[in-house]
Structure 1
Amino acid sequence: MAPSTASRVLGRTPRPLPSSVAASLADAFLASEIWAKDQLVEAGAYVMGARRRWLSPLVGDVLASFARPPVDAPRLLTSVILRSPDFAEAVRKADERRSPLRIHHRVVGPSASQQPSGALPRIDSIPDLAALLDLDVGRLQWFADTKHWNRRARSGALHHYRYEWRTRHGRIPRLLEIPEQRMRRVQRSLLERVLGLMAVNDAVHGFMPGRSAATGAARHTGADIVISLDLTTFFSRVTGGRIYGTLRQSGMSEPIAHVVTGLCTNAVPPRVLAAMPPGGSSDERFALRRALATSHLPQGAPSSPMLANLAIRRLDSRLTGWADAVDATYTRYADDLAFSGGPRLAKRPDAFIRGVQRIIEDEGHVANPHKTRVRRQGVRQSVTGIVVNQRTNVSRDDYDRLKATIHNCVVHGPGTQNHRRLDDFRAHLLGRISWVESLNPQRGEKLGAEFLRIRW
């Protein structure tokens, strides 16, 4: 009897890895209409081409681990199969016989996310995600780059990011990872349609609608003591693994969370790391290179700030609890942490700060010791550059600089003051005046009146 086309294809198919066999079995189990032993054994026999003796105890292990089909976690099911002693023994015996386990039939397993909370859309499949982002599946997979081909490929037009090192005097340099225009559009769509709908801790005031540095600073006015800390290499320390875990906790299925993580994280190519300019200690430089070389949130992507807020919700919750224990207030604006309180906090600030640092390190971050500040009443207390002694206010230095710039525009013309060659210097000045007015209406009104005297 002549071999069928399928048989000829199987004859040319390379030996599948145990992980591939386990994944195929997982898909078949999930596709079974009934989650029961006999039906799962039959599903496994279809994949393997025969009813293998080890399938029955393997299915027993699966049913002991999952009372119902884990349709949102096919990768977890695959790992359970791989760790099963019966499956491992079957692989070992097959290797000894030099007759490896082969996949005779593949089944497309179902995938479904858990019911999300609030206004979050439910995304059950990769095609669903692609449609939500106005992409086809192939283009979605290309943007996600879950295999990190971009990191290994030569520099070219098809790369998703361009890189700019920024030197900082006496400090470790900063790397901007700027998504190219198409990638930026995808990330912004994901932010608007999915990520921006997720809930964050109430202590967060950065990159949130209706919140700002001003709303965060307002929480600390009139306090006996204000403590400020800063997180180092904030975005690069939020790993792809942490993002994936955050998305899974939100109800996304494993395949969806895996692709979304790929869309929003990046691993920097070696050629870029090799070009790191001078700055910082050897330990700081090593830590930064190691963080950038692995999957992390890129500083420069529109989705990164919101994902960082989501990924460190546990840190925010723990710091909120630590502050509550001494009747203090905690807020965070990006990597700037602020605490304020009354006599209980003012009595032992050093011990309180040590506790904050332990929590930060336990959550995988590092506080910059050079930026920790303790300010009591009687000195200028500020949070994210905003004075908070009695009420929110712009600092005297910032006000005087802006006042001088506007005055020089009146006397010498605005062209003499646009040192950064901004395209719309007028809008830039108006924005700075509005910022002052939001903190101190009287000062803002004075600056606005002077601004009207400028000849454009």
Structure 2
Amino acid sequence: MNEAAIAKALATAFLADTMTITAMEARGSHVLGQSCDWIRPLAARIMAAFPGGVRPRRQRVVEIIRQSRAFLLACEEHDFHALNPTLLPTKMHPAQSIRTWNVPSITSTDALARWLGISPAQLDWFSGRFRRSASVRIGSLGHYRYRLLQKSSGQVRLIEIPKWRLAELQRQILTRILNHIPPHAAAHGFRQQHSIHTFVAPHTGQAMVARIDLQDFFPSITLPRVAAVFRTVGYPEAVADALAGLCCHQVPDHVWHSEAGNLGTSSRNQLRLLYRQPHLPQGTPTSPAIANLCAYRLDCRLTGLAQSARATYTRYADDLAFSGDDEFRRSAKSFVLHACACVMEEGFTVHFRKTRIMPAAARQRLAGLVVNGKTNVPREDFDRLKAILTNCIRSGPDSQNREQHVNFQAVLSGRISFVEHINPSRGRKLRTLFEQIVWA
């Protein structure tokens, strides 16, 4: 049996169950059919390479095994005939600190298919195991629909909407797995009992507020990072990859020709390259929760950095906020540089044009809210919405529906509800105007 095959067999055995040196040595000896004095040091080396108890990818373990001189010498001296390591029962292996999470035990892709209520072939199809090239037009066979949103800044955001069957599978993953995994305490987006209000509240009335924006937050979270989250939960590599495939997507190139006709060639090509890699799509049930989990290490680092500067840190999706007293105000510029370095080291991109350092003497604005003194809706936003409502009363709602919303009444009501949540007094004034509108 050749060296590469033996290394793969050993790696599979090492990862089949609990990753302790003794257990790995026993499984390695079982697969080789004999006890070898070099297996225990090799197991220790692998454990040292992957601290924290998270199951690594098999290929990473194979690379370490094949770098071992003791292993290479043993392969030269002995004609090993390794047993089939797939005969070993694979078990869940969550990281030590998260073993109390109430997630279902799924140890094979066949078991995952049964859990989802689909066939193994359907699992392969939905998870993109036989993923087509992004350059191939798949049309109605694709699992997503697309909607391009043009932002006021001139940038665009692609909403990737899963079709109903894939959306059902994603909702099952969300409710039975992801909702049982708590994000970092600093994360306030996409969580029950958290909101924009809880995101900005710690920064209200502070001497200095700093804001950092993450660019292309969802598409920058790639499939390998999502799979790593599921391996951290304890799922074997094949199961984690399948779950990640169900939650990620790559956008076919033809979408940018049909949906982005107003974009220049350079912008279209940049977006095409960004979205053609398997990534976390904005518009699925699972993406917000997974994004929070993928940003967990970033949240840990920025929380520690903020504490060292006697500051407070919170995050709402791609908005990062920091605040503190006069001591933080004096070090804010250097602090923001360190925070941006942490962001980039964790694989995210900083939108430097949106980075702001805001002393109390200037307007301090986070997530569209003013936080000087108390949390409030900006006066100009209130006045603009009030003017729209007044014109709806005078000239009818159709005259103000410039963006051609299908349900303009619900859009306006939602905007008023947001103001009511932040400033009930102003919200009541707007609601009174809204109730005077005559809807066709």
Taking structure 1 as the reference length, what is the TM-score of the superposition?
0.78
1:132-143 correspondence runs (5 A): 132-143=115-126
Offset at residue 112 of structure 1 (A): 1.3
Offset at 1:193? 1.4
Tell me by how many angstroms 1:150 deviates: 5.7
Amino acid in structure 2 at the alignment position of 1:182: R
Match of 1:185 among 133, 152, 168: 168
Which structure 1 residue ranges, 5 or more long, are not aligned? 1-15, 46-50, 94-100
Are 2:398 and 1:419 equivalent residues in the alignment? Answer: no
Alignment of 1:285-324 (within 5 A): 289-324=272-307
In the TM superposition, what whole-angstrom CA distance separates every residue of 1:2-46 from its partner, at most 9, and x where no partner exists? xxxxxxxxxxxxxx99766754666678889x969898667557x
For the aligned residues, what is the CA RMSD? 4.0
1:194 aligns with 2:173: no
Residue in 1 that maps onto 2:244 = 261
CA distance in 1, matches of 2:334, 2:271: 29
Q: Is the 8 A contact 2:46 2:64 kept in 1?
A: no
Q: Distance in 2 between matches of 1:226 and 1:450?
A: 35
Alpha carbons of structure 1 residues 447 and 19: separation in structure 2 relative to 1, 3 Å: farther
Question: Could you say which residue in structure 2 is the equivalent of 1:110?
Answer: 89
Q: Does structure 1 residue 410 correspond to structure 2 residue 388?
A: no
The AA in structure 2 aligned to 1:212 is S
Q: CA deviation at 1:348?
A: 2.9
Say if 1:145 and 1:22 are closer, same or farther in 2 by CA, change over 3 A: farther
**Counterpart of 1:225 in structure 2: which amino acid?**
M
Query: 1: distance between equivalents of 2:435 and 2:150?
Result: 38
Closer, same or farther in 2 for the Cα pair 1:448/1:59, shift >3 Å? same
- Does residue 208 in structure 1 map to residue 205 in structure 2? no
Describe the SS at the equivalent of 2:220: coil
Read off the aligned partner of 1:396 and give its amino acid letter: R
Structure 1 equivalent of residue 318 of structure 2: 335
1:439 alignment partner in structure 2: 422
Alignment partner of 1:356 out of 333, 336, 339? 339
The structure-2 alpha-carbon separation of the partners of 1:107 and 1:218, relative to structure 1 and needing over 3 Å to count, comes to: closer
State how 1:226-241 maps to structure 2 within 5 Å.
226-241=209-224
* Residue 218, structure 1, aligned to residue 201, structure 2: yes
For the residue of structure 2 that corresponds to 1:231, the secondary structure is strand
CA distance in 2, matches of 1:304, 1:267: 14
**CA pair 231-127 structure 1, distance change in 2 beyond 3 A:** same
Measured against aligned partners, the alpha-carbon deviations of 1:279-334 in whole angstroms (never above 9, x if no partner) come to: 6996x887655443333212222222211111111111111122222221111111
Secondary structure of the residue aligned to 2:166 is: helix
CA contact (8 A) 2:137 2:252 kept: no
Distance 1:377 1:280 in 2: 40
Cα distance 1:429–1:154, how it changes in 2: closer, same or farther (>3 A)?
closer
Map of 2:143 onto structure 1: 160
* Percentage of identical aligned residues: 36
| 8 Å Cα contact 1:230/1:335 also seen in 2 | yes
Note if contact 1:27-1:108 (Cα within 8 Å) is conserved in structure 2.
Answer: no
CA distance in 2, matches of 1:313, 1:304: 14
- Give distance in 2, aligned partners of 1:30 and 1:345: 46
User: What is the aligned partner in structure 2 of residue 243 from structure 1?
Assistant: 226
Q: TM-score, normalised by structure 2?
A: 0.80
Larger radius of gyration: 1
